[in-house]
Amino acid sequence: MRPGPAPERIRRRPGLKYELERLVQEVRLGDLRQRLPTGELRVRATTYRGGGRRVRFELGDGSTLALRLFWPRRDDVAAIVSMHDDERIGWIVTTRTVDGRDLVFYAWLAIAESPTER
């Protein structure tokens, strides 16, 4: 089901729109993090852009996690092992590569999308 147009009071207050988007992202990222203690999240595909500074993980359930990195990376990722936010750094995402190494991504922005949004 697609949402209808935004109510007039939201269209008149653009700051409210961004606050709602921030809250939605907070909930999506929280849901993603809650699934990690039950096991790794399988990564179906990894896409790099911007010289390796932007990465997008397509997860096994159809959802995606996009990161804006501090340092460029270009490795084949098989799974997301852990994910947490740090007040000073941003997002710290530990992954497992296809050859079994643990690799840490440091990102200043994380964006999660559900399968229905793609």
How many structural domains is the chain composed of? 1
Q: How confident is the model at residue 9 (pLDDT cuts 50, 70, 90)?
A: low
User: Which token pair is 26?
Assistant: 């907070």
Residue 66's closest CA among 54, 74, 75, 83?
54
If one compares 41 and 9, the residue with the highest pLDDT of the two is: 41
Distance CA 76, CA 100 (A): 10
Distance CA 90, CA 69 (A): 10
| 59-105: pLDDT as tens digits | 988 899 999 999 998 899 999 999 998 999 899 999 999 999 999 99
Q: Are 94 and 82 in contact (CB under 8 A)?
A: yes
In a domain, 62, yes or no: yes
In a domain, 108, yes or no: yes
In a domain, 3, yes or no: no
Q: Are 93 and 86 in contact (CB under 8 A)?
A: no
Q: To the nearest whole number, what is the mean pLDDT of the chain?
A: 85
In a domain, 2, yes or no: no
In a domain, 1, yes or no: no
- Look up the domain containing 51 and give its range: 8-117
In a domain, 89, yes or no: yes
In a domain, 33, yes or no: yes
**pTM for the full model?**
0.79
Q: Which residues contact 107 (CB under 8 A, 6 or more apart)?
A: 67, 68, 69, 70, 90, 91, 92, 93
In a domain, 79, yes or no: yes
